Amino acid sequence: MASERPCPADDFSIYYVLAECTDHYDSSPVKEVEENQPHSQGVTGLRNLGNTCYMNAILQCLCSISPLVEYFLSGKYITALQKDCSEVATAFAYVMTDMWLGDSECVSPEIFRSAFGNLYPAFMKKTQQDAQEFLIYVLNELHESLKKCHRKSYEKGSIPRCCRKTIANEVSIITQLFEGQLNYSIMCLKCENCTYKNEVFTILCLPIPSDYKCSLQDCLQCFFQQDTLTWHNQIHCSFCETKQETAVRASISKAPKVIIFHLKRFDILGTMKRKLRTDIHYPLTNLDLSPYICPVFRKHPKYNLCAVVNHFGDLDGGHYTAFCKNSVTQAWYSFDDTRVSEIPDTSVQTATAYLLFYSCQPFSIPIKKCKS
């Protein structure tokens, strides 16, 4: 099935429900799906349309997140579509359908690129783009296409003011999966008055504290350490009624179900540009975020890696690939445009990692069933 062709209406007579991972190997429906498919579901290459490796890597990662897969393949997205901005979400659903329900080992994402390029012409040019920037635009556009509006409110009650979450007034599958919230405590170093500011995020951009070797925890500690703002960075204190030196510390007041880390490998200082090739060790399982989460909300502090975007080359050019864990086979795969191969867990750790996708729960397995 090619992505250039719209999906027939009855393609969604097949839908996906989530089953527990522990039931996978004993479940006859799963074995039946595997026998009927020439290749594993969700293990499909994407054609390069001219320097679109950045797009292919991001699509592979998003299309490996099974709650998102279930949402689109079940047709749930159709009822949420906003009439005035539905093209990108619909095209995304077509690509995902090709990758999960099609019988081709490789498909073209042309319909998605065309719909996306109509809104953002820069991505239609056959020039290399930044995968992290592209991901931000994709998540935002999917959210705009699928959002539902609610009245904005704030948590009340016994929860400390510094840890209260802002309840968003626009909700979508994107906010439900990827949106988190940072809480900044801002303390005046003269009068010690403390104020709090909330900020939502879908991607955390982490500094890299070493040029040679470090861990993901080192990057997280660097991001969440206390910052002292002095001189020209001073903040106005409402109690002192003047600008003062200020201590700022961030914590996570709402942890997303899927957290995305952007490793800031591209360093630009004035006219100097360089890529940090630091070998960053990141765990495949049990990433502990509890030191950075407000104690009230430490329900799921540990995360498992589910996808990686790799970057090869330098700032002015290069190539993107993806590693994704398939929720059906529970194996890791390398996606390099049309080239797809299964890889061992030990190969997932590389010095080329640029974006890391972690989930707070093991992904369930999409099982093919018919509507009753």
All domains of the chain in start order, with CATH: 45-147+172-359 (3.90.70.10)
- Rounded mean pLDDT of 227-254? 90
283 vs 272: CA distance, rounded Å = 32
Radius of gyration of the chain (CA): 22
Quickly state the pLDDT bin for 296 (edges 50, 70, 90).
confident
Q: What is the pTM of this model?
A: 0.83
User: Which of 94-103, 233-242, 358-367 has the least mean pLDDT?
Assistant: 358-367
Smallest CA-to-CA distance from 252 within 283, 298, 208, 209 is with: 298
By annotation, the residues acting in catalysis are 53, 319
Instruction: Read off the DSSP letter of residue 230.
Output: -
- Rounded mean pLDDT of 8-32? 33
* DSSP-derived pairing of the beta strands 258-263 and 203-206: parallel
Smallest CA-to-CA distance from 278 within 336, 350, 217 is with: 350
Q: Which helix (H) or strand (E) holds 33?
A: helix 28-36
Q: What is the mean pLDDT of the chain?
A: 83
Name all contacts of 6-14 with Cβ < 8 Å and 24+ positions apart.
6/94, 6/111, 7/93, 7/94, 7/97, 11/97, 11/101, 12/73, 12/74, 12/75, 12/78, 13/370, 13/371, 14/73, 14/101, 14/368, 14/369, 14/370
Distances (CA, A) of 43 to 27, 258, 339, 346: 20, 21, 10, 19
State pLDDT tens for residues 210-226: 889 999 999 999 999 99
Distances (CA, A) of 203 to 61, 268, 336: 14, 20, 23
pLDDT of residue 5: 37
Beta bridge partners of 370: 14
Q: Rounded to 5 degrees, what are φ and ψ at 7?
A: -70, 130
State pLDDT tens for residues 117-144: 999 999 998 888 999 999 999 999 999 9
